[in-house]
Each structure stands twice: as structure tokens, then as C-alpha cells.
Amino acid sequence: MLDTDPDFAHALAFAARAHDGQTRKGAAGEPYVNHVIEVAEILVAHGAPREAILAAYLHDTVEDTAVTPEELAAEFGDAVARIVAEVTDDKALPKEVRKGLQISHALVCSAPAKQLKLADKISNLRAIIDSPPAAWNHARRVEYVGWAGRVGAGLKGGNPALDALFDATYRAALLRLAEEA
């Protein structure tokens, strides 16, 4: 589905251009676009709405690149741009404030945004398990996983299969960290 739908291909190409040269924080240093592909694939596999899947490709463009919300709306429509806006952090705020806002915002964002954010957290938890940032010690990874669990708790309820995948991924991250302790 992802490779045959022209809208999905357009969103992926847009994201690949926007994230060109960016890599994930993990030790593997994989291209950043791999993350947005994984998030979109998680959503497709779990029956998320089309707009959430399109937004999955684009969800970090406003936060991490020069793309503006207006560009997203012009290119992909207001519905997709709104979902992206709901999951975008304000980088002008201190990190701890942004993290707190993610926890409280999880409770009130739209159903498509909740599914997107939950898939994003699943991808990020997998990365913490499989290829953690080299500079992150055990305590930092424990803190991240705990915070992701608090965000995820507020996102659940709209897609039982996605909720179950989040829970399994969260438990796997906790188990891995416990084994490393």
C-alpha cells in the first residue's frame, strides 16, 4: 500500500528532501527518514486513518527542518497539517517543559494525532532498545522509557491493536533496561 499510493510516495519524497543529511541519534546513525517510514508502516499495519499515515511521513518536518506549517498545508491539505501541528513540539521551549506538555497534550489531541504519536513512541522505544544514542547512559535511557510510558498512557484508547503494540514495546524496553542494570 505504501509503495503504490501516490500521496504516500509524495509525502515520503517530501520528507526525504526535508530530512536530507539528518541521521538518528542512535549508534547506528541511520538516515532520519527511516524513522518516519517506520512510523508510517506501524500505522498502516494497525489500520490508522489515511491522514495519520500521511502525517507520519511529515511529523518531524516542522520541528526538525526548515519546513513551515503553511508549506505542509499547501502541499498536503489542512487536515494533514493539523495532525502534524498537534504532534509538533515547540523547540523554543525548554526540553523539560516540552516533555511535560507532551504528557498533558496526549490526553486532548485528536484520534489521528494520538495514533501518530503512539506509533512515534513505539519507533523511539524500539530505537532505545536496538540502537540507543551513544551518549545516553543507562539512567538517561531509563528516564526516557519512563517518560514515553507516561505519554503513551494518555494516547491509548483509540486503536486497540496499536495500544497492544505500544504496551509490548514498552515492556520490552523495560526488560532490556532491567537486564542491563
Domains delineated in the chain: 6-180 (1.10.3210.10)
Per-residue pLDDT tens digits for 124-161: 999 999 999 989 999 999 999 999 999 999 999 999 99
Cα torsion through 161, 162, 163, 166, rounded to 10: 130
Q: What is the pLDDT of residues 21-31, one digit of tens each?
A: 999 999 889 99
What pLDDT digit, counting tens, does each position of 63-86 carry?
Answer: 999 999 999 999 999 999 999 999
Nearest-angstrom CA–CA distance, 141 and 124:
11
Distance of CA 15 to the CA centre of its chain: 13
The structure's pTM equals 0.96
Indicate whether 113 pLDDT > 90: yes
What are the catalytic residues? 63-64
Residue 2 has pLDDT above 90, yes or no: no
CB atoms within 10 A of CB 158: 16
Mean pLDDT in the chain? 95
Answer positive or negative: Cα dihedral of 33, 77, 113, 92.
positive
Q: What's the pLDDT score for residue 66?
A: 94
Instruction: Return the closest-CA partner of residue 8 out of 71, 65, 52.
Output: 52
Residue 11 Cα distances to 7, 50, 57, 155, angstroms: 6, 12, 6, 24
